[in-house]
Structure 1
Amino acid sequence: MADFLFVPYSSHGHINPLLPVLRELTTSGDRASVVVAPNFADAVAATGAHVLRLPTSSHVIVPERFDPVDEVRRLTKTFADRKAIYELLRVELRAGSPDLVVYDPMVPKVFQMASARGVPTVLFSTTYAQNEHVIASTVQRHLGAAVGDLLRKPWARRLHPWAVETARDHRLVLINTLPELQPAAHSFGPRFRFVGPLTTARAERGDLPWSEIERRRVLLVSPGTVFTRGPAFFRTIVEAFADADQLVVIATGPTAPQALGPLPPNVIARRSIPQTALLEHADVFLTHAGMNSTMEALAAGVPMILVPRILDQQVNARRVAELGAGIRVDAKQLQPELLRLIAHKLTTDPAVRASVDALRARVTAQNGPVVAAGALREAADASCRFDHAPR
């Protein structure tokens, strides 16, 4: 039996992939303690893990339009959240030494704190990994091959904090994706484990007309829980499919559904939706291309309209489009007629269906939580051969 200490970043996109791994560990007799904000404590406790509760709730929301005041507030809250994590971790490490500390790249100081106590670490990445090759290929798209070649030098790791994390002396780096979605996958060594999707079916189905959902074609719309979209974005989608024969289910997030105005009978808008349950009945998924949503869609075999906002989402969207499982479109170019054309192509093109089915087969063949838990046990077993005494 191994003793794990998990230090995630308390946000939906970072906690949700961790839950099935925790459940897999605890049901097999391992001990898992998790430093987590109160608003995620119940979900963590339900896995059988021991909750180390932070003093305040935490979840990041980034508005669609940049506001310097909001940005200062967000950064201040993020700094305070990290400080609370580090303070609680310091207490736990003084009380005893776990076999392994598993942490998120969003809380980088964990590495130094664990290392100072002689405790080995595992990095748990909820999106693709970064190194100098990934940075270079990304920059090369915008600034040309010469700059890309320059950034392939090892010092380029310092340009991206996640690249710094993946370069450190971890026992293991777990990555919540398939190698097909990892940029420059060939440049990552054996300690990088692409464990596949870390998703789990959830029992809740929400206040939705399920009998109608189960008998009709469904377009699912969910732009994520962090980087929000405003009313105009959703109104464009409503206009595009107001007269269509499919049911449109929209997750508006922080945007109030009332802000969309009167909705046609075939459109349902809620702040939140049971996404994995709905994907089982969806024909098309309009998504921000976050890694969790992307993997959930591939697991369900649903083609995607990809409308990313930030860099990692843009990289995911580009790769999914290259693999033929979706079509990428810029939000500024989002027009009703274009949306209708894309949705029609995704549901009628045999090549799209073949690509989606092939990726679904890859996803379902790999039991991500089992693979991740097994890799963690191997790393913990190796760590037991080392002295954990403080340095």
Structure 2
Amino acid sequence: MNSSTKTQSLRILMFPWLGYGHITPYLELAKKLTTKGFFIYLCSTEATLSSIRTKIPPNLSNSIQTVSLPLEVSQDLPAESHTTNGLPPHLMVKLKEVFDNSAQSFSSILKQLKPDLLIFDFLQPWAPPLAEALNIPSVIFITSSSVMTSFMFHHFNHPEADFPYENIRFREYESRLMDELLANARDPKEREKGSAGVNMSREVVLIKGSREIEGRYIKYASGLTGKRFVPVGPLVQEPDDDQKSSSSELLSWLDQKEAKSTVFVSFGSEYFLSKEDMDGIAHGLLQSKANFIWVVRFPETEVVLEEKLPEGFLDKVGERGKMVQGWAPQTSILVHPNVGGFVSHCGWNSVMESFKFGVPIVAVPMHLDQPINARLVEEVGAGEEVLRDGDGRLNAEAVAAVINRVVVEDGVRAKVDEVKARLALMGDEEIDEVARELMSICSKLRS
């Protein structure tokens, strides 16, 4: 039996967390695996699936099937809120609770579909035991960076020791994040919760990224956990015609600007800027020399944009900038030749998009893994971080200075072009390795 025939019969159930930053790389991995002959079930809530169904190409519609997972509905959390995208922060705990309560429904899906393999996310360590009870092997796919994952496991294993790579640190004003990590590392229950998914993964851990960028962190994470970390590649969604047609006015405006003269400003689908940070970014953009497209999001459903910005901001900006509320075609903007920088929170998906498309990063990390990702961006030379003051406040002059350096000077651009070229040279090497690993796990069970 040749490898192509082998994989034709292998069906994978993929089960990501409910964030857009999770289901998007899961879908991109699904697309890659179908080219190797796998059939994919992609399971999530209807609210989450509705955001990605149109991104399944027609030629793959017979190889990727979406499967809806029902969650408990309440007045606070109706079915359309069963996603982290745009969810007010105070409802996040409630969403995690109802998600964890869906184990019985997910077990029924496993029994009905009988997949050959489960690929699961780190926030649902209750899923692998359900699969293993049915003799279905499980492999975790982590959508975070290897640098953050190795940083976390280092402190789980050695809470009193410094991370061995000195560029990767929380800054003093991020001490709260470090304190939380160390508190979890010292608490056996929290440590178990954080490492459970990796411990239950069969033989390997799949992780979004590339050895070209994070080779030493992938190796270190493997040593810390006793599991082979296998990178799946950047998994960046290519721009599509639907994106372009739905934002034709915005892209037409961008067409009129000079090459590399515009920065794209976005802080992800789940983070809402504080008033203080919004003012710092706004004044920094005003003081910079760059044109900009700024995507803003608010927890409230009805917002008067002018009231959220510094007084007179829109008048002062004029045609230099465009404000977009809610959503913008990020990949279509980043590949545009007139974009010269990305003012980013350094969520891992956004970092990978910048690397893949060769766009320098102005790093403005906010929370979670973003500060550690920002340190990696600087380590590889693909961007520069805006340093906050001792109290963690953004300074407009610092924002403007970094934007001007990244957009105007050639050093960072040359480095990010080099990173882009290195990733392109990898081609299908990484996904071929992933396919071999998954086939091996399934064949051992069958033999």
Normalising by structure 2, what TM-score?
Answer: 0.74
Partner-residue secondary structure (3-state), 2:101: helix
Contact 1:250 1:267 in 2 (8 A): yes
Separation (CA, whole Å) in 2 of partners of 1:326 and 1:157: 37
What per-residue deviation string (whole Å, max 9, x for no partner) do you get for residues 153-203 of structure 1? 999896263433223342431111124347743324473112221111132
CA contact (8 A) 2:159 2:186 kept: no
> For 1:186 and 1:154, how far apart are their aligned partners in 2?
24
Given candidates 254, 269, 283, the residue that maps to 1:213 is 254
Out of 408, 414, 419, the residue aligned to residue 354 of structure 1 is: 414
1:67 corresponds in structure 2 to: none
Partner of 1:97: 114
Secondary structure of 2:431 counterpart: helix
Letter in 2 for 1:354: A
Does the 8 Å contact 1:126/1:175 carry over to 2?
A: yes
**2:118·2:131 contact (CA, 8 Å) conserved in 1?**
yes
Q: Which amino acid aligns with 2:202?
A: H
Which segment drifts farther, 283-292 or 200-209?
A: 200-209
Which residue of 1 is the match for residue 24 of structure 2?
Answer: 16
Q: 1:274 aligns with which of 321, 324, 329?
A: 329
Aligned in 2, Cα 1:321/1:134: closer, same or farther, shift over 3 Å?
farther
SS at match of 2:97: helix
Distance change >3 Å, CA 122–CA 367, structure 1 → 2 = farther
Secondary structure (helix, strand or coil) at the match of 2:196 reads: helix
Which residue matches 2:197?
A: 165
| Distance in structure 2 (CA, Å) of the matches to 1:62 and 1:23 | 26
Instruction: Give yes or no for the alignment of 1:328 onto 2:369.
Output: no
**Aligned pairs, number:** 375
1:371 partner amino acid = E
Distance 2:29 2:432 in 1: 6
Q: CA deviation at 1:133?
A: 2.4
CA drift of 1:381 comes to: 4.4
d(CA) in 1 for partners of 2:328, 2:275: 17
Superposed, 1:32-111 pairs within 5 Å as 32-42=40-50, 43-44=52-53, 46-47=56-57, 48=61, 49-55=64-70, 56-57=79-80, 58-60=82-84, 71=90, 73-84=91-102, 86-111=103-128
Q: 1:269 to 1:345 in 2, by over 3 A?
A: same
Greater Cα offset, 293-302 or 334-343: 334-343
State percent identity of aligned pairs: 22
Native 8 Å contact 1:297 1:304 kept in 2: yes
- CA 194–101 in structure 1, closer or farther in 2 if over 3 Å, else same: same
Aligned to 2:175: none
Does structure 1 residue 196 correspond to structure 2 residue 230?
Answer: no
Q: Which amino acid aligns with 1:269?
A: M
**Cα distance in structure 2, aligned partners of 1:294 and 1:62:** 21
Structure 1 counterpart of 2:144: 127
Give the conservation status (yes or no) of the 8 Å contact 2:124–2:197: no
Cα distance, 1:328 vs. partner? Answer: 1.9
Three-state SS of the structure 1 residue aligned to 2:439 is: helix
What is the letter of the counterpart of residue 268 of structure 1? K
The 1-side partners of 2:436 and 2:114 are apart by: 16
- For 1:7, which of 15, 18, 25 is the aligned residue? 15
The alpha-carbon distance between structure 1 residues 127 and 316, as it changes in their structure 2 partners (threshold 3 A), is: same
Correspondence list, 1:128-167, <5 A: 128-129=145-146, 130=149, 132-133=153-154, 135=156, 136=158, 140=162, 159=191, 161-167=193-199
Residue 134 to residue 301, structure 1, CA distance change in 2 (3 Å): farther
The match for 2:403 is: 343
Deviations 1:12-64 (A, max 9, x none): 10011122222233355432112111123242472522121123342226899
Per the alignment, do residues 212 and 360 of structure 1 end up closer, same or farther by CA in structure 2, a change over 3 Å counting? same
- Separation (CA, whole Å) in 2 of partners of 1:219 and 1:160: 42
Gaps of 5+ in 2: 1-7, 71-78, 163-168, 173-178
Matched to 2:84, the amino acid is V
Are the equivalent residues in 1 in contact too, given 2:266–2:343 (CA < 8 A)? yes
**1:299 CA displacement:** 1.1
* 1:231 shift after superposition: 4.4
Distance 1:305 1:244, change over 3 A: closer
Cα drift, residue 137 of structure 1: 8.1
CA 1:358/1:160 → structure 2, altered by over 3 Å: closer, same or farther?
farther
Inter-partner Cα distance in structure 2 for 1:272 and 1:231:
20
Corresponding residue of 2:283? 239
3-state SS in 1 of match to 2:21? helix
Q: Which residue, out of 209, 213, 218, partners 1:185?
A: 218
SS in 2 for 1:133: helix
TM-score by length of 1: 0.84
* Aligned counterparts of 1:52 and 1:105: Cα–Cα separation in 2: 19
After superposing the two structures, state which structure 1 stretch, 92-101 or 336-345, moved more: 92-101
1:313 maps onto 2:370 in alignment: yes
